[in-house]
Structures are given as structure tokens and as C-alpha cells.
Amino acid sequence: MTVANKKGYFITVEGTDGAGKTSVLATIENWITAQGHRVITTREPGGTPLAEQIRDLLLTSREEKLADDAELLMMMAARVQHVHTKIKPALMQGTWVLSDRFLDASYAYQGGGRGMSTARIDALHTWAIDHFLPDLTILLDVPVAIGQARVAHRGEEKTRFEEEKTAFFERVRSAYLARANQEPQRIVVIDARADQARVQADVIAALSQRWSA
């Protein structure tokens, strides 16, 4: 990540629904606080009042079908607002930023899931946020069937994305793993099939290896 004179660090948590991101985000937040650092936790799409409005447009099913290109552009619009009004200012003040999803989700969901060109996402990313990337990304990897079973167990109303077919999520998972293979120094893959205690221990180990006390 390139931010002149930045003082905080930017960590993201990625994975398909049902991977256990919520508990891992809490684990990371507690770890950062225990190291004596300030931290804010945010999410994508969303993170600011305006970006949260875009999130609602993206996640709520409507009669009018959202075109794939429009979906990508709306995701990036929310991200630009998020980066410039929340993430970068916090980093400059020395606050660590922890986000539930970020850029890798676009490569996974719009690239892998929707089949959109990686080159197009690359170009839009460069134009919109100038190669801005997390310092560390935790990718929680879980087989699609397990993730879907966990989501179903929650009994919550499905988002527009969660209504997609299994094949969509298989493509999303494959795209996430491809990103991890391309950027192994930034993206750490955690086996999210394990019990919560094992996953949390693996995440803390990854954090400690990157930022030893």
C-alpha cells in the first residue's frame, strides 16, 4: 500500500459468506488493541454514510436487474468514498484500520462470480484508488457447501448475492484462491473449516508473524 507518511496499518478479512468473518474480525480487533494501538473496524461495501446507501442498493433484491458493469462501478464508487473519507485519514492519524472485505472481493465476486475481465478491474482500481492495497489480508477459505450450510443455519433474509447459485460461489472461491497465489506476501489463507478456536489461533499467528511485539 502506498500512503505517504502513513502511521497505521490496514488489514482486511475476506472470504465467502459463512467463512466466519465476524468472529475473526473481533479476534483481530482485540489483538490490535492488546498491542497498544488504536483501531477502527469497518466494512465493504459501506463504511461511510454515503457508501452504506450504495451498499443497500447493491445487496437488496429488486425487480430491476442490476447490470454487472453497474454493480462493479457502484462497488468502486463506494470504495473510493470509503478510502478517501475514512480509511486514509485514520491511517494518517496512526489508527489501524480493519475492514470486512475490500478490493479482493471485487476480483472474487465481480471477476470470478460475474466473469468480468480482471484487466477491467485492474484499470478501474488504478484509476479510482491508485494501487491502494491492504498491508495484510486474511482470507478465510471454506468449501462452498459448508459456508452455505452455515448461512442457512442463521435463518436470516438472504442478500442479492446470497441468492446466487452454488456455481457462482465456487467461482468466487476459486478467484479468491487465485488472488492468494498471486500475492502470497499480502494474502494469508486460513482454513476456515476448523473449529473457531483453531481459526482464531491461526489468525493470531499470522498477525504475530507480520507484527511481532
Residue 160 has pLDDT above 50, yes or no: yes
Domain count, the chain: 1
At 1, the pLDDT band (50, 70, 90 cuts) reads very low
Mean pLDDT of 107-120: 96
Nearest to 148 by CA among 171, 164, 135, 132: 164
Residue 3 has pLDDT above 80, yes or no: no
* Residue 186 located in a structural domain: yes
What does the pLDDT read at residue 2? 44
Out of 13-27, 52-66, 120-134, 141-155, least confident range: 141-155
Residue 210 has pLDDT above 70, yes or no: yes
10 contact partners, CB below 8 Å, separation of at least 6? 1, 87, 91, 96, 97, 99, 134, 135, 136
* Residue 64 located in a structural domain: yes
* Residue 172 located in a structural domain: yes
Mean pLDDT of 113-118: 95
Residue 213 has pLDDT above 80, yes or no: no
Range of the domain at 28: 10-210
What does the pLDDT read at residue 153? 79
* Residue 4 located in a structural domain: no
* Residue 106 located in a structural domain: yes
Please report, for the domain that includes residue 25, its CATH number.
3.40.50.300
Mean pLDDT of 185-210: 95
Peptide bond into 49 cis (omega under 30): no
Mean pLDDT of 7-35: 95
* Residue 144 located in a structural domain: yes
pTM to 2 decimal places: 0.93
* Residue 174 located in a structural domain: yes
Mean pLDDT of 176-203: 96
Cell numbers linked to 174: 476459486
What does the pLDDT read at residue 163? 81
Other residues' Cβ atoms within 10 Å of the Cβ of residue 205: 12
Residue 119 has pLDDT above 50, yes or no: yes
* Residue 2 located in a structural domain: no
